[in-house]
Amino acid sequence: MKDILVVLTGGTIGSRIRGQWVDVNDTSAYTLIELYRETYGQKEHFQVVQPFSILSENMSPQMWEKLGGFLWNIAYEKYEGVILAHGSDTLTYTSALLGMLLAHVPVPVVLTASNYPLGEEGSNGLVNFRSAVELIGTRLLKGVFTVYQNNKGENNVYLASRITEADAYLDQFGSFGGPVFGRMEKGTFHWNNARINPSLPHIMKEKKRIADICPRFEKQVLMIRPYPGLDYDTVDLSGKPGAVLHYLYHSATACTQGQRYSAVNFVKRCRRGGIPVYMASCKDARGRNYVTAGEMMEAGAIPMENISPEAAYAKLMLFYNLGLEDIPERINQPIFYENLGKC
């Protein structure tokens, strides 16, 4: 069996408790491997690297550039698979980004995290890591996935492009569209035969690289979410982002009344400044929509269909920093299952 490459980046799974604070250091991340050996033995062979160590709330486009560049240049044929240990706060954003950036890789790349520091009562970090190892060992998948045990003890396997942010009370992640991709149970992967999930043969099909080079994240994407009273006049566009992502209410709507509160006026302001605006998530941009959504599209907003906020943001970051042409025409073409079909 080939080695499994373990990429440590910090986060809670690589943290220790110091008094009342949880923080990372350069050595605590390796505790994961030590605990795994103590618990499960020496059967698997790991090669361990640590390109950086941060709490994931401090993740930035510059750190994505560093991580992406490192992962882009791995000789994947040398490994059985890759495990990326990451913090949970921005796990879903990094998952979405890597799901599309590394859709072409010939082995599974599995992201995982931990709810509490390793060794603390209730921590699922070691179990999550074990699930990642076992998922790679099945040799059933290639591409990018995220594994995380929920509060019911279910070891969920998510498509990296569909996992959604954990809630702030129970720390439970979701899957865009509802069903998870599958689960690990006693070393066996159980695929979820839901309508929106790709089949295992489709997962194993060869996929094209998104680009010939890994992007440098120099252009920023401004992300906005609606709420009652959002005052668009307070949104500063002086930094001139490469694009704006305006995520919408679940009905694909936003406020279009009132001078300061109108998304339509905001779209027009962006367009005058040469900043494209994307609106997501739209169930069917060419079908029946609320009049407010229609007004935004008439003002020039470009719809992104059936996509999570994390995946929409990551996709725009990739496209605009790769300098791709015809982005509005390509934005709804799936790279790694991030765009779901119609309901």
Query: What are the tens digits of pLDDT across the range 134-157?
Result: 999 999 999 999 999 999 999 999
Domain harbouring 236, CATH code: 3.40.50.40
- Examine the domain organization and report whether 150 and 246 are in the same domain: no
Phi-psi region of 196 (alpha: psi -120 to 50; beta: other; left: phi over 0): alpha
Q: Where are the alpha helices (DSSP H) in the chain?
A: 31-40, 61-72, 91-101, 125-138, 200-203, 263-272, 291-298, 309-322, 327-330
Q: The pTM is what? A: 0.94
Identify the burial level of 69 via C-beta atoms within 10 angstroms of its C-beta, where 0-12 means exposed, 13-18 middle and 19 or more buried: middle
Identify the burial level of 205 via C-beta atoms within 10 angstroms of its C-beta, where 0-12 means exposed, 13-18 middle and 19 or more buried: exposed
Domain harbouring 122, CATH code: 3.40.50.1170
What does the DSSP 8-state code read for residue 164?
E
Asked, for residue 211, whether it belongs to a domain, the answer is: no
Residue closest to 263 by CA, chosen among 288, 315, 228: 228
pLDDT-derived band of residue 23, with 50, 70 and 90 as boundaries? very low
Res. 96: pLDDT tops 90 = yes
| pLDDT for 289 | 80
- The rounded mean pLDDT for the chain is 92
Instruction: Work out whether strand 3-8 and strand 46-49 pair parallel, antiparallel, or are unpaired.
Output: parallel
Number of domains in the chain: 2
- Examine the domain organization and report whether 139 and 55 are in the same domain: yes
Share of the chain above pLDDT 90, in %: 80
Q: Which domain holds residue 47?
A: 3-203
Asked, for residue 343, whether it belongs to a domain, the answer is: no
Secondary structure class of 32 (helix, strand, coil): helix
Res. 22: pLDDT tops 50 = no
- Examine the domain organization and report whether 317 and 228 are in the same domain: yes
Cβ-proximal residues to 206 (8 Å cutoff; 6+ apart), any chain? 104, 106
| pLDDT for 73 | 95
d(CA 74, CA 60): 22
| pLDDT for 12 | 62
Secondary structure class of 72 (helix, strand, coil): helix
- In which residue are the tokens 């994947």 written? 76
Q: Which amino acid is at 63?
A: M
- Examine the domain organization and report whether 230 and 193 are in the same domain: no
Residue 143 · residue 208 · CB < 8 Å: no
- Residue 23 tokens read as 């923080």
Res. 19: pLDDT tops 50 = no
Asked, for residue 82, whether it belongs to a domain, the answer is: yes
Torsion of CA 113, 61, 49, 150, to 10 degrees: 10
Secondary structure class of 149 (helix, strand, coil): strand
- In which residue are the tokens 């990551």 written? 314
Q: Torsions phi, psi of 103, nearest 5?
A: -60, -25
pLDDT-derived band of residue 103, with 50, 70 and 90 as boundaries? very high
Quick one: how far is CA 25 from the chain centroid?
A: 24
- Examine the domain organization and report whether 73 and 181 are in the same domain: yes
Mean pLDDT of 175-190: 97
pLDDT in tens, 314-337: 999 999 999 998 999 999 999 999
